[in-house]
Amino acid sequence: MIAAACPVLLAATMLCATPAAAQQLPQRDGEGAPLLVLAPEWLFDAASGRMLPGREVLVRGERIVAVQEAGSPLPPGTQRIELAGHSLLPGLIDCHTHLTFDIDPGWVHRGVIETGADAALRGARNALLTLDAGFTTVRNVGSGDFADVALKRAIERGFVPGPRILPACHTLSITGGHADVTGYAPGIAEQDPEHGVADGPDQLLRAVRYQIKHGAEVIKICATAGVLSWEETVGAQQFTEEEMRVIVEEAARHGIAVAAHAHGTAGIKAAIRAGVTSIEHGSILDEEAIAMMKKHGTWLVPTTVLADNLDLSLLPAPIRAKAEKVLPMAKQSLRRAIAAGVKIAFGTDAAVIPHGTNALEFAAMVERGMTPTAALQSATIRAAELCRRPDRGQIAAGLLADLVAVPGNPLRDIHALERVDFVMKGGVVHRGL
């Protein structure tokens, strides 16, 4: 949701906190950057899971300088941002998005009628929606023609507003698998290892190295078949365990994690044994798979709200039948994983749900049995851990000044996270009260 900008009190000056006005504030640490103090009603301490009253956060440039008791002395010239009645949170992190894609009319044939340039421009719109919703970091787990890398660079250069992006570039798939373009005559939209479609160790090494060469910060693989593709079986294992191990070992040499799209139980277990960092979706988990995830420290990124919000009318009949079969199973699997204490990080599969509605995932996680505190931690400190980004996910001195404010206390009303009123990214006010 994009709200019209309203005034924010900065000392005695009323500034309009639109993206244009935000450019007036320094974006990096440096001499002359003003000291800002944010004064919320409550502050979420992600490490302890507590909501702390009476705290103020000092920001200079793109970093948090200090967290102190409200009313503590401030240097002359400090500019004040009042957030009365609001909870201040670390910038939210969505570990499973597809910013350059949408499930909307015409999506089925988009891959053969549009280019990477179309995808990047679509992504610019969706990046703004995502940042407006309070998500200051995302993992973009799959995008064609390196459109996610182009979008990341455009955001970093200030060409367009959006969250920090960890791109995966092309999702890796077997020939004819979930991330391959199928259903067309031979010769149409055929893919190669550079574009993520690879079979066997040699091709997979080429595919992994090529994605990393061109900007991948996480490698995404399809361990199993999926819903939004033309395979008849939704959960059948696709890559062999040996193939997945080749991918994991090569990515590890570059210090990069592997996220495995996996619905079916056999493929989930093979991916865990191969050493993937996270299971994405995890729709059909049995007790053995859950025990394996706990033993190996494998993360689950459940993307569960789409089971409630996916517009089935947009799906062709064969794909809709798969969704109707697997999504109820996914909800039950998540309930078991939560009860068992599997490590869980926040992800939405945004594109499958509309971009900008990411925060609906919180209430869905709580409905499946997660506490509001754990749900909020999954999108802050836990997501930062999964993403290997220790410079965010908490409100603490020295970390990035990525901050979000919502009305009231979201630990009492989880739906408050759907009503973001204030967004700061890197010390720049993107959206104000």
The string of DSSP letters for 299-310 reads EEE---THHHH-
- Name 413's Cβ contacts closer than 8 Å, sequence gap at least 6: none
Catalytic pick from 152, 220, 269, 425?
220
Name the catalytic one among 94, 180, 349, 402. Answer: 349
Among residues 227, 247, 248, the alpha carbon closest in space to that of 236 is found at 227
Q: Three-state DSSP class for 298?
A: coil
Give whole-number Cα distances, 113 to 50, 63, 108, 192, 407, in Å.
50, 43, 10, 19, 43
349 catalytic, yes or no? yes
Q: Are 69 and 27 in contact (CB under 8 A)?
A: no
- Judged by DSSP in three states, 113 sits in coil
Q: How many CB atoms lie within 10 A of CB 399?
A: 19
DSSP at 111: G
Q: Residue 69: which residues within 8 A CB-CB, separation 6 or more?
A: 54, 55, 56
Residue 83 CB partners (closer than 8 Å, separation 6+) = 38, 39, 40, 41, 405, 422, 433
* Non-local CB neighbours of 246 within 8 Å, separated by 6+ positions: 201, 204, 205
220 is catalytic: yes
Q: How far is CA 372 from CA 51, 365, 379, in A?
A: 12, 8, 11
Which residue, 265, 270, 238, 271, is CA-closest to 336? Answer: 265
DSSP bridge partners of 36: 59, 79
* 396, 43 contact by CB (below 8 A): no
User: Is the CB of residue 39 less than 8 Å from the CB of residue 56?
Assistant: yes
As given in the structure block, the two tokens for residue 250 are 């090569």
Phi, then psi, of 93 in degrees rounded to 5: -125, 125
Alpha helices in 214-302 (DSSP H): 241-253, 265-274, 287-296
Q: Which amino acids are annotated catalytic?
A: 220, 349
